[in-house]
Amino acid sequence: MSSNRTSQKLRFVRFSRSVLAVTSAACVFAVAGCSTLPHNTSPQVIGTFQKRIDPQVEITGPKAGADADLILREFYTASGKPASNYESSRNFLADSIAETWDPTGSMLVVDSIDILTVDNGADRRTFDVRGNVIGSLVDGGAYVPRSIKYEATIKMEKINDQWRIVDLPAGLVIERNDLRNNYRPLSLYFFGQSEQSLVSDRRWLYTGQQSVDTELVTLLLEGPNNDLRPAISELVPASATFLGKEDGVYRFSGMNSMSQEQRLRFAASLVWTLNNANVGSKFKATADGSPLIDGLDEMTIDDFAEYNPSNLVNADAKLYAINNGALLEVSGDKAAPSGTSLGHANNLQSADISAESIVAAVQKNSQTEYQLKMGKMGETLSDHLKAKTLARPTFEPSGQAIWTVVNGEKVVRVARSAATGEFSQNEVDTSGMDNIKGEISVIRLSATGARVAMLIGGNVYIGIVARGNNGDYHIVNAHQVGLEMQNTALSLDWMSDGSLLVGTNNTNSPVWRIEQDGSSATTLASGNITAPVVAVAASPTMLYITDSHALLQLPAESTDNSFWREVSGLQGLRSSPIVAK
Give span(s): CATH 3.10.450.50, the chain: 25-182
Whether the pLDDT of residue 541 is over 60: the answer is: yes
Q: What is the pLDDT of residue 1?
A: 41
Whether the pLDDT of residue 52 is over 80: the answer is: no
Q: What is the pLDDT of residue 566?
A: 97
Question: 349: pLDDT confidence band, cut at 50, 70 and 90?
Answer: very high
Q: What is the pLDDT of residue 507?
A: 96
Q: What is the pLDDT of residue 340?
A: 86
Closest CA to 382 of 398, 359, 349: 359
Give 307's contacts (C-beta < 8 A, 6+ positions apart): 197, 198, 268, 272
Whether the pLDDT of residue 439 is over 80: the answer is: yes
CATH number of 25-182: 3.10.450.50
Task: For 139-210, list the strands marked E by DSSP.
Answer: 142-159, 162-167, 172-175, 183-191, 198-206
Q: Residues 102-111: what's their mean pLDDT?
A: 92
Question: 558: pLDDT confidence band, cut at 50, 70 and 90?
Answer: confident
CA-derived radius of gyration, the chain: 26
- Tell me: the pLDDT tens digits for 13-27? 223 333 323 333 333
- Tell me: the pLDDT tens digits for 132-173? 999 999 989 999 999 999 999 999 999 999 999 999 999 999
CATH 3.90.1150.10 fits 319-579, yes or no: no
3-state secondary structure of 330: strand
Closest CA to 84 of 43, 45, 52, 108: 52
Q: What is the pLDDT of residue 55?
A: 56
Whether the pLDDT of residue 484 is over 60: the answer is: yes
- Tell me: the pLDDT tens digits for 382-392? 999 999 999 99
Q: What is the pLDDT of residue 12?
A: 28
Whether the pLDDT of residue 539 is over 60: the answer is: yes
Give span(s): CATH 2.120.10.30, the chain: 319-579
- CA 528, 531, 535, 537 torsion-angle sign: positive
Closest CA to 260 of 541, 445, 9, 32: 9
SS3 assignment for 82-117: CHHHHHHHHCCECHHHHCCCCCCCCEEEECCCEEEE
- Tell me: the pLDDT tens digits for 492-519? 999 999 999 999 999 999 999 999 999 9
In degrees and rounded to multiples of 5, residue 314 shows phi and psi of: -60, 135
